[in-house]
C-alpha cells in the first residue's frame, strides 16, 4: 500500500511532529528541512517562474525588457541631460537595476512570506521557511534569465570573455543570502505587525538611490575627505560592484576588508534569520 | 494495542492583541509587582488529553468554535501547543482544504503535481498516480487546460482526487468533503469511507452524526475547549443534544 510521507520522521517511534528547535538546533533543522522537501521547493519555484509572465503577451521578454527600459530612463537622465561621460554607463546602470530589483524582490517577498501564505499555513503543515526560500529561488531563476540581456552589450562594447563572469555568481549569491537572512528574520514580526512590509517597501526604494545602482563607486569625485568609505557600510555595495566587474571585466578594486565585511554581514544575517525564524514562526502564525 | 496519537495535556491559546507598548509596560510591571499580569488571549483548547490507538476511528463533535478544527490542526502540526505535547507514530495526513496551492494560470496537471509535492509525493510517485487521478476526477481531456477555465466543481474534483490518491496511515478529516455534482459526491463519500476502512487510525471532525455513529468507535464532545464527554458514540450524541448526563455509562472505565 502506498503511504504518505509528510513532515514526519520515518521512524516508528512516538514523536513530536513540529518540535520547537533549540538555538543551536535551528540551523540543522533548517538544512534537514531543505533536503527533505527538495521536490516541493522545485515545484514551487517552477510555479512562481511560470505564472509571473504567463498571462502576458510578451511573456519572458518582460524579464529583460523591464530592466532595459528602466536603464534607458537613467541613461537619458544621466548621460543626455546631466552629461555623464562614462562610456560604459548604460551597461553599468542596467546591471545595477537588475541586481537591485533582484535584491528588493527577494527581500520584500520573504518578509511577507508568512502573511501572504496564511491560507495555506492553516490547511497543511510543512516547514514555513520554504515559502521564503522558494521566493528567493524563483527570483534567482528569473534574474539569471534577465542577465542574458547583457550579452549583446558585451559584443557591442567589445568586452572580454573570461573568468570574471564568476563575479556575477558571487554577487547574486551574496545578495540572495542577505535578502533571505533579513527576510527570515523579519517575516514572523511582519505577521504580527504588518508595518514591517510597508517600512521595507520604502527601504528598498531608498536603497535604490543610496546604493550604487544608477551610480558607481568610480563616479564618486575625488577628495570627499574619505566620506566615500562610509558607502561601504551598506552591505549591498560589494555585491553590486561585483556584478559590474562580472560584466565589464574590470578589477573589483575594493579592499579585502570590505569584501569580508559584506560577506560576513550576509552570512551573519542568514544565521540570525534562521534562528529567529525557526523559533518565532509557530507563534507568528497565530496572528495571521 | 499500540498508541498512535498521544495528546497530552494540550492547551492552545491565541493572542487577542498584537504585542506593543502594553506588552512592554506589562513586562516592567511584572518585574516589580507580585500580581503577574498575562497578555489577553483566547484559550481555544484547555488541558486536552486524548490517547488514540492503532485501528481506532475517533470522532470529534461540538458546536462551532469549540476547538474541533484547532485540535486537528494541532495534531497535524499546524499549531504548536502552548502547553502539553502532541506525539504521533507513522505518517499523518490532514484532509482539510483540497485545493492547496492551486493557481488559475497553470493547467490541471501542473496544479496536481504541485499539490502532490506539497503532500510529500515525489515526481515519480505523481507520474504513477496521475492516471488514477485523471480517472477519478473525470477530467480526461480537460486536464491540460488552465485551471481558470474549470468550473468550481471541476476544481474541487481535481483537488479531492489528488488529496485522496494515496492512503495515509493516520487520517485526520475536517468535515467529510462533499464536492462536485451528485454523482461525484456519492463517489467521494465512498472513497473517504474506503480510506477510513484502510487507514490504521482515523480522527474525524463532523456534524453528520449519522455518519459518525456508523463509523466511529469512540466520540469526543468538545465544549469551549474542554472535553465534555467521551466514549460510546450514541451516548455522546445524546449528551450533545442535552438528553443525557455527561458522565459515561457505568460500564465504562473509571
Q: What is the mean pLDDT of residues A77-96?
A: 86
Measured CA to CA, the distance from residue B161 to residue B129 in angstroms comes to 10
User: Which of A4, A12, A55 is facing B105, going by the closest CB pair?
Assistant: A55
Position with higher pLDDT, B254 vs A94 = A94
Q: Looking at residue A247, what is its pLDDT?
A: 92
The band of B190, judged by pLDDT with boundaries at 50, 70 and 90, is confident
- Which CA distances in Å does A140 have to A134, A185, B77, B101? 10, 20, 30, 21
The band of A8, judged by pLDDT with boundaries at 50, 70 and 90, is very low
Is the pLDDT at B181 greater than 90, yes or no? no
Q: Which residues are CB-neighbours of A129 under 8 A, at least 6 positions away?
A: A30, A33, A184, A274, A277, A278, A281
Q: Does the beta carbon of A195 lie under 8 angstroms from any beta carbon of chain B?
A: no
Q: Does the beta carbon of A38 lie under 8 angstroms from any beta carbon of chain B?
A: no
Nearest CA in chain B to A119: B100
Contact B231, B252 (CB under 8 A): yes
Q: Looking at residue A9, what is its pLDDT?
A: 41
Is the pLDDT at B253 greater than 80, yes or no? no
- Please give the distance of CA A1 from its chain centroid, rounded to a whole number: 42
Q: Looking at residue A18, what is its pLDDT?
A: 86
Q: How far is B42 from chain A (nearest CA, A)?
A: 11
The band of B61, judged by pLDDT with boundaries at 50, 70 and 90, is very high
Q: What is the mean pLDDT of residues A158-169?
A: 92
- State whether A43 and B3 contact (CB < 8 Å): no
For residue B202, how many other CB atoms are within 10 A of its CB?
A: 24
Residue B201, by phi and psi: left (phi above 0), alpha (psi -120 to 50) or beta? beta
- State whether A12 and B101 contact (CB < 8 Å): no
Q: Does the beta carbon of A17 lie under 8 angstroms from any beta carbon of chain B?
A: yes
All three cell numbers of A224: 570627499
Q: What is the mean pLDDT of residues A7-22?
A: 72
User: Which of A20, A51, A285 is facing B105, going by the closest CB pair?
Assistant: A51
Q: Looking at residue A86, what is its pLDDT?
A: 82
Q: Looking at residue B120, what is its pLDDT?
A: 87
Q: Looking at residue A265, what is its pLDDT?
A: 97
Q: Looking at residue B252, what is its pLDDT?
A: 47
Position with higher pLDDT, B128 vs A9 = B128
pLDDT (tens digit, 9 = 90+) per residue, B87-136? 999 888 888 877 788 988 899 999 999 999 988 888 999 999 999 999 99
Residues from chain A that touch B118, judged by Cβ atoms under 8 A, are 40, 43, 124, 126
Q: Looking at residue B56, what is its pLDDT?
A: 92
Measured CA to CA, the distance from residue B33 to residue B26 in angstroms comes to 10
Q: What is the mean pLDDT of residues A151-180?
A: 94
Given the candidates 1.10.8, 3.40.630, 2.60.40, 1.10.287, the CATH classification of the domain at B97-167 is 1.10.8
Q: Looking at residue B93, what is its pLDDT?
A: 87
Identify the DSSP state of A211. T
Q: Which of A2-16, B37-51, B195-209 has the lowest mean pLDDT?
A: A2-16
ipTM of the complex: 0.87
All three cell numbers of A180: 533571505
Q: How far is B167 from chain A (nearest CA, A)?
A: 5
Residue ranges covered by each domain of chain B: 97-167
Q: Looking at residue A75, what is its pLDDT?
A: 85
Q: Does the beta carbon of A7 lie under 8 angstroms from any beta carbon of chain B?
A: yes
pLDDT (tens digit, 9 = 90+) per residue, A216-227? 887 777 766 566
- State whether B92 and A12 contact (CB < 8 Å): no
Is the pLDDT at A252 greater than 60, yes or no? yes
Amino acid at each position: 500500500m502506498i503511504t504518505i510521507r509528510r513532515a514526519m520522521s520515518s521512524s516508528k517511534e512516538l514523536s513530536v511532529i513540529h518540535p520547537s528547535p533549540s538555538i543551536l538546533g535551528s540551523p540543522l533543522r533548517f538544512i534537514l528541512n531543505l533536503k527533505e522537501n527538495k521536490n516541493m521547493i522545485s515545484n514551487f519555484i517552477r510555479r512562481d517562474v511560470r505564472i509571473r509572465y504567463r498571462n502576458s503577451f510578451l511573456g519572458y521578454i518582460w524579464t529583460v525588457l523591464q530592466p532595459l527600459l528602466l536603464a534607458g530612463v537613467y541613461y537619458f537622465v544621466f548621460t543626455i541631460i546631466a552629461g555623464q561621460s562614462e562610456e560604459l554607463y548604460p551597461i553599468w546602470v542596467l546591471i545595477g537595476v537588475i541586481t537591485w530589483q533582484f535584491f528588493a524582490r527577494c527581500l520584500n517577498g520573504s518578509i511577507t512570506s508568512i502573511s501572504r501564505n496564511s491560507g495555506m499555513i492553516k490547511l497543511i503543515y510543512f516547514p514555513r521557511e520554504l515559502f521564503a526560500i522558494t521566493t528567493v529561488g524563483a527570483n534567482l531563476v528569473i534574474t539569471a534569465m534577465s542577465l542574458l540581456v547583457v550579452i549583446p552589450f558585451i559584443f557591442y562594447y567589445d568586452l572580454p570573455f573570461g573568468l570574471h563572469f564568476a563575479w556575477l555568481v558571487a554577487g547574486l549569491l551574496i545578495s540572495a543570502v542577505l535578502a533571505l537572512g533579513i527576510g527570515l528574520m523579519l517575516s514572523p514580526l511582519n505577521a504580527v505587525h504588518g508595518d514591517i512590509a510597508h517600512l521595507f517597501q520604502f527601504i528598498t526604494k531608498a536603497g535604490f538611490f543610496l546604493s550604487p545602482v544608477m551610480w558607481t563607486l568610480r563616479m564618486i569625485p575625488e577628495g570627499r575627505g574619505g566620506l566615500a568609505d562610509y558607502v561601504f557600510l551598506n552591505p549591498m555595495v560589494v555585491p553590486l560592484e561585483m556584478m559590474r566587474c562580472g560584466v565589464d571585466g574590470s578589477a573589483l578594486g575594493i579592499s579585502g576588508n570590505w569584501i569580508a565585511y559584506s560577506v560576513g554581514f550576509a552570512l551573519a544575517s542568514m544565521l540570525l534569520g534562521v534562528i529567529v525564524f525557526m523559533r518565532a514562526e509557530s507563534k507568528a502564525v497565530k496572528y495571521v | 494495542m499500540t498508541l498512535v496519537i498521544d495528546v497530552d495535556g494540550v492547551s492552545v491559546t491565541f493572542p487577542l492583541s498584537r504585542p506593543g507598548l502594553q506588552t512592554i509596560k506589562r513586562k516592567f510591571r511584572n518585574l516589580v509587582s507580585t500580581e503577574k499580569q498575562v497578555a489577553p488571549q483566547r484559550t481555544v483548547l484547555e488541558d486536552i488529553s486524548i490517547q488514540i490507538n492503532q485501528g481506532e476511528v475517533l470522532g470529534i463533535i461540538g458546536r462551532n468554535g469549540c476547538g474541533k478544527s484547532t485540535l486537528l490542526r494541532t495534531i497535524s502540526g499546524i499549531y504548536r501547543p502552548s502547553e502539553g505535547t502532541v506525539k504521533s507514530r507513522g505518517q499523518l495526513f490532514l484532509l482539510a482544504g483540497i485545493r492547496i496551492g492551486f493557481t488559475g494560470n497553470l493547467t490541471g496537471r501542473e496544479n496536481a503535481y504541485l499539490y502532490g509535492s506539497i503532500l510529500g509525493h515525489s515526481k515519480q510517485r505523481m507520474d504513477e498516480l496521475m492516471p488514477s487521478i485523471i480517472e477519478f476526477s473525470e477530467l480526461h481531456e480537460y486536464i491540460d487546460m488552465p485551471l481558470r477555465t474549470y468550473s468550481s466543481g471541476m476544481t474541487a474534483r481535481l483537488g479531492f482526487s489528488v488529496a485522496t490518491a494515496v492512503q495515509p496511515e493516520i487520517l485526520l478529516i475536517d468535515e467529510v468533503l462533499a464536492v462536485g455534482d451528485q454523482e461525484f459526491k456519492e463517489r467521494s463519500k465512498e472513497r473517504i469511507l474506503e480510506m477510513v476502512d484502510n487507514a490504521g487510525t482515523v480522527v474525524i471532525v463532523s456534524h453528520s452524526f449519522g455518519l459518525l455513529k456508523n463509523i466511529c468507535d469512540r466520540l469526543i464532545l468538545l465544549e469551549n475547549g474542554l472535553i465534555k464527554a467521551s466514549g460510546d458514540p450514541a451516548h455522546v450524541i445524546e449528551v450533545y443534544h442535552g438528553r443525557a448526563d455527561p458522565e459515561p455509562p457505568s460500564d465504562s472505565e473509571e
